[in-house]
Amino acid sequence: MTDKKNDSYDSGTTLRQIIDSAPMSMAIVAMDGTIEYINRKAVETFGYAHSDIPNMDRWWVQAYPNEHYRKEVTARWMGHVQDAFLRKSEIDGGEYKVTCKDGTLKTVYIFGVIAAGRVFVMFEDVTKRAAAEKSLWESESLYRALVETTGTGYVVVNAYGNVLDANREYVRLSGHKDLKEILGRNVVEWTAPHEKEKNAKAVAQCARDGHIWNLEIDYIDGAGKITPIEINSTVVTRGGAMQMLTLCRDITVRRRHQEQIRSLTEGLEKRVRERTAELTEANLQLRDQIAQRTESEKSRNSLMLELLQSQKMEAIGRLAGGIAHDFNNILVSISGCAELLIKTLPKDSPMRSDLAEIRTETERGAALTRQLTAMSRREPVQEQVLDLNTIISDTSRMLKRIIGANMHLETLLSPDIAGIRSDPGQVSQIIMNLVVNSRDAMPDGGKIILRTANEAVEKGRTGMRLTPEPGNYVALSVTDTGSGILPENLAHIFEPFFTTKEEGKGSGLGLSTVYGIVLQAKGGIDIETGPGRGTTFKIYFPRAA
């Protein structure tokens, strides 16, 4: 409820009724700093009655008890008001930490307009949204860390097999060194020639059926090295578009073990054939001898038949015993090595399943030896220091071809900027993503300006999208004359897969990639934008020692 001072303002008027019933906190401030009126929602939100905050001086002290923060907020707000007064436009909004009367801290988006010689101030409580955004950012950071540290390749592709995102392990499996080398390209490009058709059909099958399991495909790198992988993929929908989340495992070691077992099996089969041939020859000779004896000693037919049977079984027994002995030695060696390797591996190692398969094959071999011994009646036995101006100059020649003839690309490079320590490919990727983003914001053409300068970030600076540690930096600004970014989209532009472009014209990964690179480099990001005012992205690179 408002107090008597508050009720004295414009009592009974339509304006009072409208403001009091508004779902947003509002206040009317005279140019001399007197707070003439606050509505019911403001009292409910912050707990202050009109008598608690009769003027702006009392509001500053009550809402911002920390002196340092109060000075910062006061200067920032008064600057917005002065700027709005000169431009005869609305007061730019911003997020502030407001201390309520009961001591609780709320995150509030404050903006306003100047009319009739007064400042109409509006407050939007965004405390829950700010907390949710922080939680989402932390969740995304954890997810990315898990994806990047796993030993399994992870890749996201669209319905046609074009890469939208991948971790370092998948980049390695594809035969490349950096994610930017494969983004937007089709997975068939690094598939071995003899399996390109097979992989293309698998992509189509996954898109049709919604999944694909245990597909083995050979990848090939630029040097011709083959890497066999096992693929498992599932279809999901993101941003209204179908995508395939795919896990790829390097099965080189498993293939090698399978080849060893196949080689051992072929060797065993060869020895069996040789021994069988020897036995066949021995049997033929034996039959000739028996035939001769049968002709000469017809009276001893019965004895000779028994002798023949005995000799046959003896020869088979010798063959079976020899094979079983040799093969068992091989199996003992394989099984022992596999068992030793299993004991040395962690319980969660993917290699344990491959070694278990080897052990299973040795058990099958052992069963064969048991059959043979039964026949024989035997017992079983770079980072570097870079010149940002040089990178921009080198990159701009390529950018002019990319942005199109209806775009004017201008560079304003400070000649005395310091060096930065970073990866040249990542710096080029930042420039490329920001310029392409600016181009897409100006479908009818416009101007893109790249600037460089030495800048310092003071302690306590706020309002940046990614705030670095205080210190000296080299700043890269990318400015366009486009339509600007809507306030409702500004909070989401660095989220992976968030895009305002039409379906098929953007993956939503460009700005999230920029954010990830700058975060990893311990740099900073600031944005100046507004509907119809264009957009400026400013990237802060730490100076090289």
Q: Which residues pair with 454 in a beta bridge?
A: 474
- Do the bridges between strand 384-386 and strand 420-422 make them parallel or antiparallel, or are there none, so unpaired? antiparallel
Tokens of 274: 């040789």
Clarify whether residues 515 and 474 are in a common domain: yes
pLDDT tens digits along 176-229: 989 899 999 999 999 999 999 999 999 999 999 999 999 999 999 888 899 999
For residues 464 and 456, is the Cβ–Cβ distance under 8 A?
Answer: no
CATH number at residue 441: 3.30.565.10
Whole-number Å distance between alpha carbons of 309 and 306: 5
Print the domain residue range for 220: 132-250
Q: Which of 125, 160, 195 is the last residue of a domain?
A: 125
Clarify whether residues 461 and 525 are in a common domain: yes
Give the pLDDT score at 382: 67
CATH number at residue 13: 3.30.450.20
> Could you write out the DSSP letters of every residue in 508-526?
S-HHHHHHHHHHHTT-EEE
Integer CA distances (angstroms), 343 to 348, 352, 365, 375, in order: 12, 9, 22, 35
Clarify whether residues 370 and 405 are in a common domain: no
Q: Provide the b/e sequence for 222-243 (b: ≥16 CB within 10 Å).
A: eeeeebbbbbbbebeebeebeb
Clarify whether residues 399 and 532 are in a common domain: yes
381 lies in some domain: no
406 lies in some domain: yes
CA proximity to 118, closest of 5, 23, 35: 35
pLDDT tens digits along 261-293: 888 888 888 888 888 888 888 888 888 888 887
Residue 338's Cβ-count burial label (10 Å; 0-12, 13-18, 19+) is buried
pLDDT at 489 over 90: no
pLDDT at 423 over 70: yes
Clarify whether residues 309 and 365 are in a common domain: yes
Clarify whether residues 151 and 264 are in a common domain: no
pLDDT at 538 over 90: yes
Give the pLDDT score at 319: 55
Whole-number Å distance between alpha carbons of 328 and 302: 39
For residues 452 and 462, is the Cβ–Cβ distance under 8 A?
Answer: no
Whole-number Å distance between alpha carbons of 170 and 153: 4
Per-residue pLDDT, averaged over 55-63, amounts to: 92
Give the pLDDT score at 144: 60
First to last CA, the chain: 59
Whole-number Å distance between alpha carbons of 152 and 361: 26
Q: Which of 344, 376, 408 is the last residue of a domain?
A: 376
Whole-number Å distance between alpha carbons of 218 and 197: 12
Clarify whether residues 145 and 64 are in a common domain: no
Clarify whether residues 290 and 420 are in a common domain: no
Clarify whether residues 104 and 167 are in a common domain: no
Clarify whether residues 16 and 114 are in a common domain: yes
Domains held by the chain: number: 4
Clarify whether residues 425 and 469 are in a common domain: yes
pLDDT band for position 11 (cuts 50, 70, 90) = very low
pLDDT tens digits along 122-154: 998 888 887 777 766 666 655 665 556 677 888
Cα 512–189–398 angle (5° rounding)?
55
Per-residue pLDDT, averaged over 479-504, amounts to: 80
Give the pLDDT score at 47: 92
Amino acid of residue 189: E
pLDDT at 479 over 80: yes
370 conformational bin, left if phi > 0, alpha if psi -120 to 50, beta if neither: alpha
